[in-house]
Structure formats: C-alpha cells, structure tokens
Amino acid sequence: MQHAKPGGRASLFAAALVLGAIYAGSTLVTPLYPLYQRAFGLSDLTITLVYATYVVGNVAALLAFGRISDQAGRRFVSLIVLALAMVSTLLFLFAVHPALLFVARGTSGLAIGVGAATATAWIAELHPAADKAPASRLAAAVNLAGLALGVLAAGLLAQFAAGPLHTVFVVYFVVLAVTAALAARTRETVDAPERSLAALSFAPRIGIPSELRMAFIAPAVTAFATFALLGFYAALLPNLLANSMNLHSPALSGAIVAELFIASTITVIATPMLSARTAMFAGLWLLPPSLALLLWAQMDGSIVWLLCATALCGLATALGFRGSLQEVNRIAPEDQRAEVLSAYLLCCYTGNSLPAVGIALLSRRVGHLWADAAFAAVSVVLALVALAVGWHIGGDHDSAQRS
C-alpha cells in the first residue's frame, strides 16, 4: 500500500486534534467517579470495574480493528471513531442506570483503541519530516496533553458548572463535533482505500518471535508497571483523596491527575536525545521512589507531598512508556512489527486495568492504605525484574557486538 505525500500544517493540526480529542475522553470520567458513586449508590469495586471496562474496548479494538485504517483509510476510520465517541458521550449524558456506565465506558475504550492507532499513523504520514521520530514525539505529546486537558476540564466543570454529571459531556460532544468537521476536510493519506466490508481483514496480528522473547520481557514489564501507575491515578485517585485526606473536590482530583500527564508531556518534549534503553531504565529506577513518596503522602494525609509524588510519577511514567515503546520498535523485525507492537499494547492495556481492580478487591479486606502498599510492593518487584532482565540482555548484546 502506498501513502500520499505529507500534507500541510492544517491537515497535521486536524489529525493531531483527532488524537488529542479522543484521548481526552479517556480521563474525562475520572473526577466524576465519586459523583456517580453517590448518585447510584455504587461501591468502590463497582466504580473501579466501570473504569476497567474501558480496557475491554481497548482490547477489542486491538484484536479486531487494529489494522482497519490501513485498509479503509485514516479519514474514514477517524470519522467512524469520532461518531463512536459521540455515542459514548451521549450514553454518559443520559445515564439513568449503572449498566449504562459500563456500556458507555466500553464504547469509549473501543473508540480510543481504534482512534489512537489511526490518528497516530495519520500524523506520521502527514508530518513533513522524513525522519519519523519528530512525528512520534508529537503524537506522544498530543496523547498526554489530551489526557491532561480532559481530566482538568472535567474536574473544573463538575466543581463549578451546573449539572456536574451533564455539562462536561455537552461540552465534550461539541468538541468532538468540531473535530469531526475538521477531520472531514483533511486529506486522506491511504491510496485506494477499501469501501467494501467484505474486502476488509479483521484477523488479529499479535505475537512475539521466539528469538525476541527474552529481549521483549524488559519493555513489556516496564509498560505493565508504568500503565498500572497511570491506572491507579485514573481510577483510584479520587478515592485516595476522599479516604486519606477527606477531600471531596472534583476540581482538585482533576487537577492532580492533570498534573501527572502535564509532567509526562513536558518530560517527553524535554528528553528527545535520550536513547530508548536509557529512558526505559531511568523510568524504572524512578518508579520505586515515586511509589514511596505516593504512599508517604497517603499516610501523612499531605496534599503537598501528593503533588510532589505526582510530579515524580509523571516523570517516571513518561520515561518508562517512551523508552519501552521505542525499545520495542527497535528490536521488532520490520515484517513483524505490527504483531510485536500489538503484544506490547496488550501489556499496556492489562496493566492499566487489572492492578486497579486488584487494589479495589484487596482494599475491601485490608483497607485502602495496605492495598495501596501491596500495589507499590508488586510494582517495585516488577521494576527490579525489568531492570535485571534488561541489563542482562543489554550485556549479552554488547558482548556479541565486541566479539
């Protein structure tokens, strides 16, 4: 398949807006979880399962629709994705039963799972640079900025606007509509896109070549641990504020989660010269002190320490995610890159959801603090495993090069 030449700045802006807008929907609900708990009488575990349903949509997108825009075209799939995001937004807007929250969150996950791959590829094809590293950094920065803006805007609107469970979704629906209008005018970069459903392939492509399995362990475990920390913030931070600090402000919880993603965005922009392995190892080394500071903030009930911990967590997650993704891209054979990247993304998605559900289950038995301490301990063990394996594989690679 051939792609057209790079487009202008307006086209690149529109593709970036698609990516940022759909990712904003991922964190839009985070400050609203306590409000839904009170409105529907939901437990901490139920609301965490609502959050985790998002990942079901992500995995469905990965397995069934991961390559669909390569065949049907970036613009066409982007418009379908934005329509799905609008459906999810309307489901949240008119939710009168907890079951609708699960459906809305799953639909959002499906839209973001398909849309992220589509818009990221679109940005790479529209970017004027021959070297695609700047396009990758732009996509990563837009991704993180969208997550930050979504949760910050949702928290502010829930705190200060009328109808805290409705206004934010009206505003977001308008943003999606404007984004769709701009995307519809953006040039397609896939030559001769398929328009027949029968001509499209939905067969999943996921796997790791046997010779890469040891090398894959370090970036895969890094991705799992990194996204587990992101999932902790997105799903459980409002409960941490309420239970440990007696703070019940949607604006505050939204601002703190936004701080995490802002710190990550700045880190990605400010560290373009770090190699993949250096960034990955730095993220892993920073993970234990980040978790220790987060636990100390919870035990001390200190918002100041929480803000410091969040900034450090943002630095660790940005380096861990960027480094592990670049490392996977580096080791993957050209003809098997899609399969290897899909396996990597599966690690990201499971890390984003399973630990958060585990914390919610464990907290029912031992309390929030001990459940969070267990999460921190497991995360530190994972970081040490990734460091040990990554160091060993790197040493073997260096020895092979010298010989």
Q: What is the DSSP string of 162-184?
A: SSTTTHHHHHHHHHHHHHHHHHH
- Domain boundary among the residues 165, 194, 223 is at 194
| 200 within some domain | no
Domain hosting 251: range is 206-403
Residue 338's contacts (CB-CB under 8 Å, 6 or more residues apart) are: 66, 67, 205
pLDDT value for 147? 92
Q: Does residue 297 register a pLDDT over 70?
A: yes
Q: Does residue 397 register a pLDDT over 60?
A: no
pLDDT value for 138? 84
Count of beta carbons in the 10 Å neighbourhood of residue 354: 16
Instruction: Give the three-state DSSP class for 189.
Output: coil
pLDDT value for 24? 94
- Domain boundary among the residues 144, 172, 194 is at 194
pLDDT level of residue 4 (50, 70, 90 thresholds): very low
Kindly state whether residues 125 and 241 are assigned to the same domain.
Answer: no
Instruction: Give the three-state DSSP class for 123.
Output: helix
pLDDT level of residue 199 (50, 70, 90 thresholds): low
Question: Residue 47's Cα: distance from chain center in Å?
Answer: 19
CATH number of the domain that residue 167 is part of: 1.20.1250.20
pTM of the entire structure? 0.85
| 71 within some domain | yes
Q: How far apart are CA 306 and CA 297, in angstroms?
A: 5
Kindly state whether residues 58 and 158 are assigned to the same domain.
Answer: yes
pLDDT level of residue 399 (50, 70, 90 thresholds): very low
Instruction: Please give the tally of structural domains in the chain.
Output: 2
pLDDT digits 0-9 by tens, 80-103: 999 999 999 999 999 999 999 999
* 8 Å CB contact between 229 and 401: no
DSSP per-residue string spanning 87-113: HHHHHHHT--SHHHHHHHHHHHHHHHH
Q: Does residue 136 register a pLDDT over 50?
A: yes
